[in-house]
Structures are given as C-alpha cells and as structure tokens.
Structure 1
C-alpha cells in the first residue's frame, strides 16, 4: 500500500513539474483555437477571420510571403474572466534573409474585426496590444535590434506610431529571434492582479523566459482576443498553430464589488518616450535634374583644374623671362 501511495505522489509531482510550462487546467475552450480548427461545415466556432487569412489542416496563415497583405483572426466570445494567461503557438518564416517584415500583433481589445493600419487592425484601439515587430529595415533611432516584442495599453486616445515602431507609447519590450526557426515558437501573455507579464519559449526548452513585466496595468473584462499580421514592401509568412486561454485560479486575489467591465484601459508605467524626429523630406528634384547638376558640377571642377594649370604655366613663363 505504501509503495502505491509513493508511486501516486511521484506521478503527481511529475505532472505538476511538466505542467508548469503549459498547464491545461481551466482552459477556456470558447477562447481557444486548436486543431482540428473547423467545426461543422466551414465555420470555426467562436472565431472569425478576415483579409488574406487562410485555414489549413495544420495552421492558420494570416499572410503569405508576398507584399501588401493583411490578415486577422478574432475570437467572437468576450473574455469575462479577471485573471488569464493567453498562450499562442505561432511561426514566422519567409524567403528573406536580410530584409523581411512587417510583423504581427496579439490583441485584447474592445473593438474587433476592423481593418486598419496597425499590422492589419484598428489604430486608436481600446485595450492591450503585444507587437511582434519583424520589420528589418529599422524605423527611426533605436537602441534595440529586430525582431522586437513590445506591449502597449491604449484608452482610444493614442496612435501607434508605425514609423517609429511604437517606441513613444510602449510599456516595455525585448529583442526576440523568432524567424525561420526549425522548432516551435510560443508566447505567453499573462494578466493577473493587474500585472502584465509577457514570456516566450523560442529556444525549444519547454520553459518560459520572461520578456518583460509591468505592474499597474488596468484592463477591463469583456474584451476580445485577436491576432493580426501585415506585410508591406517586405514580407513573411505569419502562421498560427494554436491559441489557448487559461483562467487563472488565484485564491489569494481579494474579491471586490468593482465592475471590471467599466474599467478604462490604463497603465501606471511607460518607458520614457523618445523624441519624435521627423524624417528628412525627400528631395523634390527628379533623377534627370540630379544627373544634370552632377554633370555641371563635374564640368565646373574640370574647368577649375584646367584654369589652374594654365595659370601655373603662365607664372612659370614669367619667371623664366625674368631669369633671362
């Protein structure tokens, strides 16, 4: 009997240890997306997709590796739990080795299924956005490399500055090598007790590595989960394998009478904003005009050299006459 109990306890401990990375306790199926994706017919229960999104048996492709694409998938059921952990299994890959983009966003927002300029979704949003920015041709002055993960909380009054990679409004961020890996890539967005923690598993270790953590983040209940992606002049495949939302059971979290659905999205802490310096205005001169100006400049330089040589020769002749 003692041996059986010991085996049982060991099994439980092993399960708890292995479950630390991706526990399935309290998974909310109405907010999760796992294979097989389709329900009856061609619809995905609780999910809608738009733009260039295509559904395959093994993945959901938001954009393919071609220019100027936008795709998104949104959960139609509002999230009414206070504390949650959103885990996304995805893959970003393409032909580009040095040039690629633009990236994808994981959303928790009030409005959904709306096209827009922010990686295929709406600007001036209400809620949370976690950006996976892969655009390799860096926008503006940076102190980090790309790809880059960052978070932003918006109450509808802020615009995502795509030209500066959102550095003016981000909560925090970290560099993340996510492209063209030959193993699975995962991201966790955990929101508990008004603390936002973004973690990743990009190293095939089945363990979360913290990207950033921000306290004092206020998010209401009743918002929607979504993922969008876009390409521009540069491109990539943006694929989603699974989405899982877990309700976190926090016995020590005090119950309040506060109506969480009425909270205005806000954050106590933001990174110090960088000054917005406008890009130099492009020259209004056409290519032909620039060529002519360069040609005239070259002729002027040659003329100056010739005149200098002639002047030098005359000075030499005068010197010889004085000598004789």
Structure 2
C-alpha cells in the first residue's frame, strides 16, 4: 500500500514537473511584462515600425504605408504544438481600414517584404488575418477573414487573389475596435491543423478551420508581422504563448529537412484580369459605346434643327 502511494506521488510529481517546465515553451513565448532594454528582447527580434510599450507591441500605427514584424530567434523543435496569440486591431476608420497581420511559422525570419510586411516565396505556414475592407476582386466571404496558407517556397503570393492559391481553409470573423480581449489559437497535432478564435468576449474557443494531412517541418521560426497601405489600423500584439503537445518519450520522424506539404488546398478565386472580357470583345464594346455617343450627337443635332425650324415658323406667323 505504501509503495502504491509512493508511486502515485512520484507520477504526479513527474507530470507536474513536465507540465510546468515543458508544456509552456518559454523560449518561444512572449508575455507581459516584456523583458529587455533598448532595442533587444530575449529570444525575440523586431523590425520596421514595431514599437514596444509596457502594455502591447505595436507592429503598425494607424498610419498609411507602415510595416512591422517581430520574430522568435529560437527554432522550434516541437513536433506537436499550440500557439495562442492575443492581439488587438483598432483604428479610426469605420468603413475603410486595413490591411491586416500574419502569424508565421517559416524557414526564414526577419526578412521584410510585400506579404503583410514579410518576404514573398515563403517556406512554411502562415495564418492571415486580412482586414482590408476594400476587397480585391470578387469574394464569397466578408472581411475581416482568417485563413491558413502553406507554401514550399516556390509560389508567389498573389495580392490580386489575396493569396487564395496558397489557402488551405478560412473563416470570417469580427475583430476590430472590440473592447474585450481577442485571441487566436493555432493547434498543430498529428498532422492536423486547427485554428480557433476567442473574439466574442466569452472566454471560450470557437472553431475556425480544420485541415488534416498537413506536414510541417521542425526547426522553423515563429513570427508576427503587419502592414498598412492606403488604409490603416493599429496592429498590436499582446502576447504569444507556445505550448508543447509532445508527450515525454514520444518518438517522431526526423522532419528537419521536410518541405511543407498539404493534401488539400481550397480552389483559388479568379484574378481580376482573368475575368475581364477578351480583346476582340473589348473592341466590340468600345465600338458600341462610340456608336451610341455618335447617335446621341446626331439626335441632338436633328432635334436642334427641328426646334429651330419650328421656332422660325411660329415667329413668321406672328407677322400675318
């Protein structure tokens, strides 16, 4: 009996030790109060318009043409993980605002570029929070929109398609100018990618998307970047917490050299120029337009002549 009690106490102590030391990966996490001085922070580097305050990390202010990012400097060796991100998007715009922010798990880090403030032809996973209200081309959903994207480094991010040719899945959400805390959780476990949101102030996760058959390498870097263009918003990162889902003693395949792959991608929407009329049809439409203008001019001239003649006839009758 005493042996059984000792064994239970030992098991509880081992589980507690693993849960406190290994479950939250502090080298991949960022919480208040933000440590560091000057332009450095332990385990994190930042660039662009990023500003560190006591309460938040502002990636972009509510100004046009700003870009900022923060990147973890330690490669992630965890196979199964969950990233919980607290953020805030706010701004003066009521109907027009943008552009949004991106949560990254990629091979390269600290490289600025046109994709929400980071490099194009990225290799890895990106969770896009697209708030751009002036939508590019036709959509079957509203904005803001959260989507998961995957790239093996060979494909260009198509801004006209909002990256939908890289998209695995997505969901609509309302995240701007909310008075309560807003969160996104990215869960990657046993090659299944899930994204949840907590943006309604209910302190509970709401499913956004689930995609099986997603293979991600180990040794990539986490980061968050944001950008504004002609439209703008404040994009604030409050916290980034990474939790390990790996169990002690669990064995995994070596994924250090694996390229990101997925069994399923959503069908991309057409480019704006793809749905434009062909050149002969455009010439025909131009001809019809100018013909219509010419007919209007001719009708105006004929109407003017008729009115002038009628006026002269009425004027002549007044002399008899």
Above 0.5 in TM-score? Answer: yes
Aligned residue for 1:26? 23
Preserved contact between residue 161 and residue 268 of structure 2 (Cα < 8 Å) = no
Which of the numbers 233, 237, 242 marks the counterpart of 2:234? 237
Cα-to-partner distance string for 1:138-170 (whole Å, 9 max, x where unaligned): 111100000000011100011111122122221
Q: Is the 8 A contact 2:71 2:221 kept in 1?
A: yes
How far 1:131 moved relative to its partner? 0.3
Gap change, CA 1:96 and 1:28, over 3 Å in 2: same
Structure 1 equivalent of residue 273 of structure 2: 278
2:77 is aligned with 1:114: no
1:149 is aligned to 146
Counterpart selection for 1:255 from 233, 251, 255: 251
CA displacement at 1:304 relative to structure 2: 3.6
Deviation at 1:302, TM superposition (A): 3.7
Instruction: Give the drift of 1:250.
Output: 4.6
CA separation of 1:156 and 1:39: change in aligned 2, threshold 3 A: same
Alignment match, 1:266: 261
CA contact (8 A) 2:105 2:222 kept: yes
The answer as to 2:164 corresponding to 1:186 is no
- Deviation for aligned residue 1:309: 3.6
What is the count of residue pairs matched by the alignment? 280
Task: Note the 1:61-76 alignment, pairs <5 A.
Answer: 61-76=58-73
Q: TM-score, with normalisation over the residues of structure 2?
A: 0.81
> How far apart are residue 25 of structure 1 and its match?
7.0
* Rounded Cα–Cα distance in structure 1 between residues aligned with 2:295 and 2:237: 56
Q: What stretches of structure 2 of length at least 5 have no aligned partner?
A: 1-19, 278-292, 315-320
CA contact (8 A) 1:219 1:265 kept: yes
- 1:24 Cα shift? 9.5
Partner Cα distance (2:111, 2:39) in 1: 22
Equivalent-residue separation in structure 2 for 1:24 and 1:102 (angstroms): 37
Where do 5+ consecutive residues of structure 1 fail to align?
1-22, 282-294, 318-324
Q: TM-score, normalised by structure 1?
A: 0.80
- Aligned match of 2:159: 162
Q: Does 1:82 align with 2:79?
A: yes
- Which shifted more, 38-47 or 155-164? 38-47
Within 1, Cα distance between the matches of 2:138 and 2:207?
25
